[in-house]
Structure 1
Amino acid sequence: MTASAPLPTWSPAAHGALYDLCLGPSHHIGAWLATDDHTGTPWQWLDWAQDRVVGQVADLLRLRPGDHVLDIGFGSGAVPLRLAATVDVAVTGCSANPVEVDAAADLVTSTVHFELTGALLPYSDAAFDAVWVKESVEQLPEARRVLKPGGRVVITVPVPNLHGLVDAVHDTGLIVEQARDLGAGPRVGRTWDMWAQLFQEHHPALFDRYGAEGIVAMDNGITVLLSVVTGELNCAVVVARDS
């Protein structure tokens, strides 16, 4: 039996490049419509679908001009910029990944900035009008602590167990207002289809970064990943508020 190629050494910089090349600037799941056609490029399709999620989250948070929003796990920095422009709010993006924070430094504006944080957020209690938690369920207790009374939290995470996510939100003392998914199948799965297509298109660039062994490992791993997530993984959205 031939030994499988080792996975590439993990580093925030290397994996940040993988996300940049395969998920576009926003690094999050998209909301696809049945009416979406194939005009434009994969980058544009991802951009439009990810923009829809930003708009949906802004509506769910019931943002008002002048609010201050905390984006936990902001990714590349594109989402806070979009969120700020959508509703004229201030956004603080925080991440435990120093590479993301450094990369987003050039995106800082008068209303958007980014900070490196750890497990305990460096913000005072009740500091924010709203919080968006992206794939960082472990930060829910801190999200509640920094949320103003009556403020809202939106949690978005690809998870097949929506009930488990709701239970985790309840455990923090937040009151769940709604829980749903953006839809299995094409409505979410198309993001993974784009990932696969862009992965192939950017194979040479990924080869330069990861080397031959890394690419073999990725080819094998992504095939297995896509066989699971395309058919099974939903994007769960939970809206909760502080009492």
Structure 2
Amino acid sequence: MKYFILTGLFLFTCFAEAAEAPQPVDVPNTLAERVKACTICHGEEDKASRDAYYPRIAGKLEGYLYNQLRHFRDGRRYYQPMAILLENMSDTYLREIAQYFAGLEIPYPPPESIVIPPAQAALAEKLVYSGDPEREVPACSACHGQDLMGTEPFVPGLLGLHSTYLAAQLGGWHSGGLIRGKIANCMADIAKQLTYEEINALAKWLAAQPASGEPANALPAEMAQRCANLALENGDSR
């Protein structure tokens, strides 16, 4: 009798555990499903918001995204989590990821609510639209487009990003070129000419602007030549 009671309890326990065990989930083998590893940091695909530490990648230019993915994988841009995530991915797969995010049409977040003193705003606007020829600092709009939404094929837009992120990126270029772009040290060469006051003014002003307009079609000839010359000086044609 005791044997049957113990056997019954054992079977009851097994059935109970089986009922409570998580059931297998049928996950579709699609690129949208696989890139969820990206959206853990960069935000859900349908989330129209900005993050202070991770940039928006939805709707960015395909050429820009593809180059940055390769730079992270190959060690030309330094962020260990990204390097680990991408280390075994082929160029073809990275291109597919870039195409996927470039094709997402998601509304941009509203401008960041920042109080900018008039003098600081004027300083930022001068740098954005006129630059500083005496220091050979070109206008931001010369490369990133008049609408600051980027330039085909690989110059990113500057709007829709958090002021903290913008300040960190400009500071990274300024302090030693830890970030490498498509054209060798082009942005580092420019950012090193800026003061920290100018970097902070630019970051705040850009974050406070609404994101609208379209990417420009191509770099102006003067800027394309300047960046090409920098690439030759550094022995880097990447």
Taking structure 1 as the reference length, the TM-score comes to 0.25
Taking structure 2 as the reference length, the TM-score comes to 0.26
| Structure 1 or 2: more strand by fraction | 1
Pair member with larger Rg = 2
| Structure 1 or 2: more helix by fraction | 2
